[in-house]
Amino acid sequence: MNFEMDEVGRDIIEKARQLFNEHGVEAVNMHQIAKKAGIGQGTLYRRFPNKGALCMSVLDSQFEQFKANMMRELTDKAAEPVVIRLSAFIQGLLFFSLELREYIRPILSAICTDDKNNQDWFQAEPYTFMHATISGLLEEAAAARQLRPQILPTIAASLLISSFSPELMAHFEEQGYSKEFISEQCRATFIEPLFLEASEADYDGN
C-alpha cells in the first residue's frame, strides 16, 4: 500500500502545508505535524521517515507545474541553439530553487544524512527529470559537434544539478545580487564553457 497516497497520508501532507505556510518550513517539526494531523508520531514516520520526505511530497504539485512550464518553454524554443535552451532550463531550475529553498533544505539534509535516501534521490522524479533533460540537450549538442569533445553529457548533467545549493543561492541574494544576475553568472561559468562556440550574439533578444 502506498501510505503517502492514502487518506491519512494526504491529510498529513495538507496539514504540513498549512503549518509550513503559517510558520515557515524550518520552524515546524515532525511532532507539530503529527499533532496538527491528529495522529501518533509512529503513524507519521511510517509514511514519511523524515521531514525531507514530507517536504518532497508537499512540493510535488509545485514541481509538476515547474516541469510543465519548462517543457513548454523548451518546446517553444525548439528552433534555438542548444546553449539557449540549456540556459533557459538552468535559469528555470535556479529560480525554482530560490523560490522554494525552504522546502529544499530539509530534503537535502535528509539526503546527506541517510545513505538510503541518497540513493532514492537519484531515482526520484525531480532528479531523473532534470538529469534526462540536461543530458539530452548536451547529447544533442554533441551530435551536432557543438559540445567540447571531452565533455560527457551524463556526468556534466549531474555536476550542473549538484551546483544548485539553496544556501549558496540564498547567500548570493543576501549579498544583493538579483536572481537574473546570478543566472547570468551561472551561464557564463558553467554552461558556455561546455560548448565550442557560444557567442553573445546567440543571446540577442533572449
CA dihedral 23, 45, 113, 95 (to 10 degrees): -40
Q: Residue 99 has which C-alpha cell?
A: 523560490
Question: Nearest to residue 206, comparing CAs of 53, 54, 59, 79?
Answer: 79
Q: Contact at 8 Å (CB) between 164 and 99?
A: no
- Give the count of beta carbons closer than 10 Å to the beta carbon of residue 73: 14
Please give the chain's pLDDT, 206 residues, in tens: 455 567 888 899 999 989 988 988 888 999 999 999 999 999 999 898 888 888 888 888 788 889 999 999 999 999 999 999 999 999 998 888 887 777 776 766 665 555 555 456 677 778 899 999 999 999 999 999 999 999 999 999 999 988 877 678 778 878 999 989 988 999 999 999 999 975 443 544 44
Residue 116: what pLDDT?
A: 52
- Give the count of beta carbons closer than 10 Å to the beta carbon of residue 4: 17
Residue 70: what pLDDT?
A: 94
Residue 65: what pLDDT?
A: 87
How far apart are the C-alpha atoms of 17 and 58, rounded to whole Å?
6
Residue 108: what pLDDT?
A: 62
Residues 97, 98, 103, 108, CA torsion sign: positive
As separate numbers, helices (DSSP H) first and strands (DSSP E) second, the chain gives 12, 0
Q: Contact at 8 Å (CB) between 11 and 57?
A: no
